[in-house]
Each structure stands twice: as structure tokens, then as C-alpha cells.
Amino acid sequence: MKRATITLLSICIFATAFSQPATPISASVKANKDYRLTLGVLRKLSTVIANFPDVDKNKNYDKIKSLFRSAGEDYYGRNFTEAVIKFTTLKKELIAFLNIVAKQYLNRTKSILDSTAKESFDIIIDFGKESSFSTYFHKPFDPLKDVKPYTKKYGPKDYHFFKDKTLIETYLKEGYMMYHYSKNIYEDPEIAILNTKKRMTPQNMKYIIERYIFVIQFCRQAKQYGIEIHKIRKLHEISDILRKYNLSGAKLTPIFDDRIPENFKVDAIDNLNLLYSIEKKRLDNYK
């Protein structure tokens, strides 16, 4: 009975709140919100553009920065009404731009996960307790008389998979789950509906922008799972890599970690919000 009373009271409060006339938001408040939103997005995109540049994308990004600068000048000059108009144009451009960037992140995420999927599933199957391969590996044998329990596919360096197969399975599962979650956000029907509107509210535009940013962030997490699998699969190479670059384990950053395929090192660096160009210079100093 008490719970029903609380529920009824809550309904009355919400009904009263929605029955009140909306308070107009001043141009200064709108401009301030737009400024903070777009500035935060541009800061996030600066790393993306630097790590995955192309001519068209860089050109569009420069255009967006120019729009931000113009709107920012009006905002700083307290010409808030004009600033709001310019920020609205800027947000529309950001939505179109983020759509492209989010799609590119989805494609790279799928590529990284797929690059390790086949061998990962083989490891999950071959190194299970019930497999005959497992029986051979755990069976005592005389190294001088018996046939070694190795094949063309697996050797002594792969024994750690009996322990690490569970981690590989977890990373593969989490990676694909995060990828599909990101894909679902990108394909959100509500975004498609809002994009058909001739006039979107500030709330509509903010919603779409934030959803695309989520796609990029979740794709980074998904990509990292795939990269970690590559590192586990080549665990035996760590000593050689450390000697090659004269490093300690604590300094084995992605640019030096040759267990990561060369074409995916930029993703590993981007996942850490670092710049590939700067990290590449560090690598070049060792050559």
C-alpha cells in the first residue's frame, strides 16, 4: 500500500512538472552549451584525424574547424544570437562528418577482429581438455625414444595456449560483442528518423553527435580486444622484441610491440589516445 502511494505521488509530480510552461532558454545559455559540446567533440576528433588522415576527411575537418572558429568569435564577443545560428550549422556538419568517421571505425574494428578469429577459434578447439591434442601434450614421454607431441601447426612455444585459451575466448567474445553493440548504435533507427527531419532541435543534434562519439569509443575497446589476442598468440616473441629494441617490459608500448601486425599498430596507438606520427618517430630513433 505504501509503495502504491509513492508511485501515485510520483505520477502527480511528473504530471505537474510537464503541465508547467517551458522556460525559454536564453541565447547565451544555448551558445555556451553549443560551445562546450562542439569543442569537446573537436578535441576528440583531432586524434582521429591525425591517426587516420585522408585528403577529403582532412579538408572537411578544416572546414569544421573554420566554422567553430567563426562561431567561437561571436561567442567570445557575446554576440550570442549569431553564435547560436553558426553553432547550429556547425553541428549539422559535425553530424555528417561523424557518420563517416564512425563507419570507418566500424570497418577497421571488424577487420582487426576477423584477422585473428580463425586462429583463435582453432586454439579454443584444439587446446580443450577433451581434444586428443591435449592428451598428447599432457602425456609423459621419453624425449629420446618417443615421438614428440608436436605438429606442423603447434610446437613447444604454443603450450601456453592450454592456459591462455580461456583469455583468448573471452577477448574474442567481448570484442565481437562490443563491435555489434557499436554497429547497433550506428544503425539506431532513431538517428535515421532524425536525419530525415528538415529542422532538428538542439536536443536532436546533441543526441546524434553523442551516439556517433559512443561508436568511436566502443570501437576502440573492441579493437583492443583483437589486438590483445594477437599479443597473446605471439607471447613467445616478447624476449626477442625486448632485446631487439633494448627495452624493459614496462616500456613495450604498441609502436615497439612487433606482436601487433604492422597495419594495426596505428589502431593500438589510437586506442590509447596517442599520436601515431609521434610514436613512429620514437621507433625510428631505434633504427
Instruction: Provide the pLDDT for residue 2.
Output: 40
Residues 6+ apart with CB under 8 A from 154: 126, 133, 161
In this structure, the dihedral spanned by the alpha carbons of residues 18, 22, 28 and 33, taken in order and rounded to 10 degrees, is 20
The answer to whether 98 and 146 have CB atoms below 8 angstroms apart is: no
If you average pLDDT over residues 229-242, what whole number do you get? 94
pLDDT at 151 over 90: no
Task: Name the residue with higher pLDDT: 126 or 227.
Answer: 227
pLDDT at 167 over 90: yes
What pLDDT, in 10s, does the model give residues 30-42?
Answer: 999 999 999 999 9
Residues 214-233 as b or e (16 or more Cβ within 10 Å = b) = bbbebbbbbbbbbbbbbbbb
Q: Is residue 227 part of a domain?
A: yes
Count CA within 13 A, CB hemisphere, residue 93.
19
pLDDT at 17 over 80: no
pLDDT at 18 over 50: no
C-alpha 222/C-alpha 229 separation (Å) is 11
Q: Is residue 157 part of a domain?
A: yes
Q: Is residue 243 part of a domain?
A: no
Instruction: Provide the pLDDT for residue 25.
Output: 73
Instruction: Provide the pLDDT for residue 190.
Output: 94
Q: Is residue 281 part of a domain?
A: no
Q: Is residue 286 part of a domain?
A: no
Give the structural domain span for 200: 24-233
Q: Is residue 150 part of a domain?
A: yes
What pLDDT, in 10s, does the model give residues 184-220?
Answer: 999 999 999 998 888 899 999 999 999 999 999 999 9
Q: Is residue 179 part of a domain?
A: yes
Instruction: Provide the pLDDT for residue 154.
Output: 76
Residues 6+ apart with CB under 8 A from 257: 231, 241, 265, 268
Q: Is residue 2 part of a domain?
A: no
Q: Which three cell numbers stand for residue 251?
A: 616500456
As for how many domains the chain has, the answer is 1
Q: What is the DSSP letter of 198?
A: S
C-alpha 131/C-alpha 162 separation (Å) is 11
If you average pLDDT over residues 169-189, what whole number do you get? 97
